[in-house]
Amino acid sequence: MQHTIAVFKVTMKSLPYFCRGAVVRGFGRGSKELGIPTANFPESVVDNLPSDMKTGIYYGWACVGNSDVHRMVMSIGWNPFYKNTKKSMETHIIHKYKEDFYGETLSIAILGYIRPETSFNSLDALIKAIHNDIEEARKQLDLPEHQKFKDDDFFKTSKKEIMNGH
Ligand code: ADP
Ligand code: MG
């Protein structure tokens, strides 16, 4: 078991990576209907991603506007709108929101990598994989070394300023 985990244990020099930006409309792929809504970042945030941050699924912390910090899983993938030449960043916050938050500032701390992008044979397999990712994110984020970022000053500073970096 431990062996399997080691295979995906990737270290990236850019992690942890902090960024924020206004939530924009995504591709309308119906993620919400699957119970897994993903908040999309605008191109300006995606274009600033360090080049060593490869596509795949990550975990970390997220905060909408000035509200509470919650666990998240995020996918960095290829953007179909740009014929897969540009990346996209989609964050699923592990929290039930009463309303959508398009246009609000989303701040995230990306801490670790879970797995590469995969294509799935069925919608069921995809949903199952995402639930596994959520489970893995919960486990990882409970560790003290990850928990401490929940209280990072990044989540307390003025949300008006858009910034990228770490
Ligand atoms: P889109 O294609 O526009 O991204 P989605 O079906 O992926 O549509 O839904 C994403 C939107 O759902 C987000 O932009 C946000 O406003 C809202 N939302 C509600 N709850 C969550 C959540 N827990 N995580 C992410 N987004 C959420
Ligand atoms: Mg989305």
| pLDDT tens track for 83-117 | 788 889 999 999 999 999 999 999 999 999 999 98
Residue the block writes with tokens 């274009």? 47
Nearest ligand for residue 39 CA: 1
Q: Whose CA is nearest to atom 5 of ligand 1?
A: 37
User: Pocket of ligand 1, candidates 25, 68, 89, 100: which has the most ligand atoms within 8 Å of its Cβ, to mutate?
Assistant: 100
Q: Which entry of 33, 43, 90, 136 is annotated as an active-site residue? A: 90
Residue 166 pLDDT level (bands cut at 50, 70, 90): very low
Q: For the chain, how far is it from start to end, CA to CA, in angstroms?
A: 33
Look at residue 118 and tell me whether its pLDDT is greater than 90: no
Residue the block writes with tokens 């670790």? 112
What's the CA-to-centroid distance between 1 and ligand 1, angstroms?
34
Instruction: Identify the pLDDT of residue 165.
Output: 54
Count of all residues that appear for the chain in the document: 166
List the alpha helices (DSSP H) in the chain: 2-8, 43-47, 123-141, 144-147
90 a catalytic residue: yes
Two structure tokens written together for 9:
């244990």
* Residue 111: alpha-carbon gap to chain centroid: 10
Q: In this structure, what are the phi and psi dihedrals at residue 105, rounded to the nearest 5 degrees?
A: -80, 125
Q: Whose CA is nearest to atom 9 of ligand 1?
A: 37
Of 89, 104, 110, 76, nearest to 26 (Cα)?
A: 89
**Can you give the pTM of this predicted structure?**
0.90
C-alpha 153/C-alpha 151 separation (Å) is 6
Query: Greatest CA span in the chain, whole angstroms?
Result: 44
- Provide the 3-class DSSP secondary structure of residue 34: helix
C-beta separation of 62 from 91 below 8 A: yes
Atom of ligand 1 nearest to the CA of 70: 23
